[in-house]
A = this chain, B = another copy of it.
């Protein structure tokens, strides 16, 4: 958050302007009808400058805040070490979702753009799953397991990501009626109880 000079501030500004323009134009015209040239033009920079900030057109939507935005795994590592592993994970997840829900309107717009562009939705899910391995590492650190030998941490990472994805999709489908954190809590409760609790036996 420390401003180290006019230079870095302007750089962050143009990046934000590009990300905002990308999201706005995508909401207006649909993602595939938005060219990089249009995004750059709306942000008052050149075409070439766009790729000085983002390595691909999609990155402007997927990582508007840069690579140093807080991730789930870092939140988990910040939890007190004496806390029960699953409790610490729940808390970290709540913090992460609360941060994501800070600007519900923007989150809604993003979700609308993603869900209305078939080629783009998987990329969002991929982004959520990017920390999967990192999350597995953080879990293994906390439990003292070996992330390569023990199946547990990798499974927890993948499964938690999956649960968050489902919660996010459901939240958007409901129009935000239920708070995102509540939906995620329900999903995690189900997973803690085991798969049979998700489907009725006959």
Contact = CB atoms under 8 A, between A and B. Distances in A.
Interface of A: 84-86, 122, 125-126, 129-130, 139, 143-145, 148, 151-156, 158-159, 161-163, 165-166, 169-170, 173, 183, 186-188, 190-196, 198-202
Nearest to A188: B195
B153 A199 contact: yes
A128 to B, nearest CB: 11
The 4 closest A-B pairs by CB, nearest first: A194-B194, A158-B162, A152-B198, A162-B162
B156 A163 contact: no
Interface of A is mostly: helix
A199 B85 contact: yes
Contact of A199 (B122, B148, B156): B156
Given A156-B199, A192-B195, A194-B195, 20 more contacts: A84-B201, A85-B202, A86-B196, A122-B126, A122-B130, A125-B126, A139-B199, A144-B200, A145-B200, A148-B173, A151-B166, A151-B183, A151-B187, A152-B199, A154-B166, A155-B166, A155-B187, A155-B190, A159-B162, A159-B163
Contacts of A85: 199-202
A153 B191 CA distance: 12
Nearest to A136: B166
